[in-house]
C-alpha cells in the first residue's frame, strides 16, 4: 500500500492533510523521516507519527505482557482491565482472546477480529498454551505421567487432555495444556496436592511472549504471527 494511503486511513485524515504532514517530515518509516507519498509500506512496516506507531486500516492484533492486578475483560467496576494498558485510538474496539486470572501474568492477545479470536479459543480448535508455574511445595514424583494421562478436576466429568510438564527446579515447572478450563492450571496442581504461587503465560500456539516486552507493554503482531494462529 502507498504510504499516503496508509497514513490517511490509519489516522482518519484527508489526503490533503496527509500531504502536509509528509511534507513537514512528521512521518517516519523505520525510524527515518519520509516524505515520498508513493513509498510502499505494509502492516509490518514501522510507520510512526510524532513517535507513535500507526497501524494499518483493518483489524487490529496485539500481544500484551499482562501485569498482576489486571482483569482480562473489556470493562470492570473494581479493577483495571487489560484494555487500560492499550494506548491506541481504536483501543475501545479490542477484546482479550481468552482469559487469564487477575494474578496471572504474561501473554495476552488482543484483537477486534472476533472470528480470529474464536478460532483460537473455540474448544474444538484450542491451541497449546505454555505456562511457567511456581509451586508452593516441591513437585512429587510421577506428576508428569499423571498430567500426561489426564487428571480429574474437582467437580468435572471428564479428565483433562494430555498435558506436558517439564521440571525446571523443585518448585518451578513449565506446563503445556491444550484446553482453557476455569482456573485450569491452579486446579491441576491442587489435584496433585500442590498449590500455584505464581503463574505466567509464555506462549499461545506458535506465538511466544517477547523476552524484551516490558511488563504492561504491548506491540502489534506481524502479519505472519496473525496468520500462524488462523
Q: Which residue from 101, 112, 144, 225 is in contact with ligand URA, where contact means CB under 6 A?
A: 101
Q: Which residue from 125, 167, 183, 219 is in contact with ligand URA, where contact means CB under 6 A?
A: 183
Q: Which residue from 22, 54, 60, 199 is in contact with ligand URA, where contact means CB under 6 A?
A: 199
Q: Which residue from 21, 43, 47, 100 is in contact with ligand URA, where contact means CB under 6 A?
A: 100
> Does residue 54 interact with ligand URA by CB under 6 A?
no
State in angstroms the smallest separation of the CB of 74 from ligand URA: 17
On whether the CB atoms of residues 166 and 174 are closer than 8 A, the answer is: yes
> Does residue 134 interact with ligand URA by CB under 6 A?
no
On whether the CB atoms of residues 151 and 110 are closer than 8 A, the answer is: no
Total residues interacting with ligand URA, rule: CB under 6 A:
8
The residue (of 93 and 184) whose beta carbon lies closer to ligand URA is 184
Q: Please name the residues in contact with 131: beta carbons below 8 A apart, sequence gap of 6 or more.
A: 106, 174, 175, 176, 177, 185, 199, 200, 201, 202
> Does residue 107 interact with ligand URA by CB under 6 A?
no
20 to 39: interface string for ligand URA, x by CB under 6 A: --------------------
Instruction: Name the segment binding ligand URA (CB under 6 A); options: 8-16, 35-43, 75-83, 183-191.
Output: 183-191
Q: Is 4 a catalytic residue?
A: no
Q: Which residue from 184, 197, 202, 222 is in contact with ligand URA, where contact means CB under 6 A?
A: 184
Catalytic residue list: 101
Amino acid at each position: 500500500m502507498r504510504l499516503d494511503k496508509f497514513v490517511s486511513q490509519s489516522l482518519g485524515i484527508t489526503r490533503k492533510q496527509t500531504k502536509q504532514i509528509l511534507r513537514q517530515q512528521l512521518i517516519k518509516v523505520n525510524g527515518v523521516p519520509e516524505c515520498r507519498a508513493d513509498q510502499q509500506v505494509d502492516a509490518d512496516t514501522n510507520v510512526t507519527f510524532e513517535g507513535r506507531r500507526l497501524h494499518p486500516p483493518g483489524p487490529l492484533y496485539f500481544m500484551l505482557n499482562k501485569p498482576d492486578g489486571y482483569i482480562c475483560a473489556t470493562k470492570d467496576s473494581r479493577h483495571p482491565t487489560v484494555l487500560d494498558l492499550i494506548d491506541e485510538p481504536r483501543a475501545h474496539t479490542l477484546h482479550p482472546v481468552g482469559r487469564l486470572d487477575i494474578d496471572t501474568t504474561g501473554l495476552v492477545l488482543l484483537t477486534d477480529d472476533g472470528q480470529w479470536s474464536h478460532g483460537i479459543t473455540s474448544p474444538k480448535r484450542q491451541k497449546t498454551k505454555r505456562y511457567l508455574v511456581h509451586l508452593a511445595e516441591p513437585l512429587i514424583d510421577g506428576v508428569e505421567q499423571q498430567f500426561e494421562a489426564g487428571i480429574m478436576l474437582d467437580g468435572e466429568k471428564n479428565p483433562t487432555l494430555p498435558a506436558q510438564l517439564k521440571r525446571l527446579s523443585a518448585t518451578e515447572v513449565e506446563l503445556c495444556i491444550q484446553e482453557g478450563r476455569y482456573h485450569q492450571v491452579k486446579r491441576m496442581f491442587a489435584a496433585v496436592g500442590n498449590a500455584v504461587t505464581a503463574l505466567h503465560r509464555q506462549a499461545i500456539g506458535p506465538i511466544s511472549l517477547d523476552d524484551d516486552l516490558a511488563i504492561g507493554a504491548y506491540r502489534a503482531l506481524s502479519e505472519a504471527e496473525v496468520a500462524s494462529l488462523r
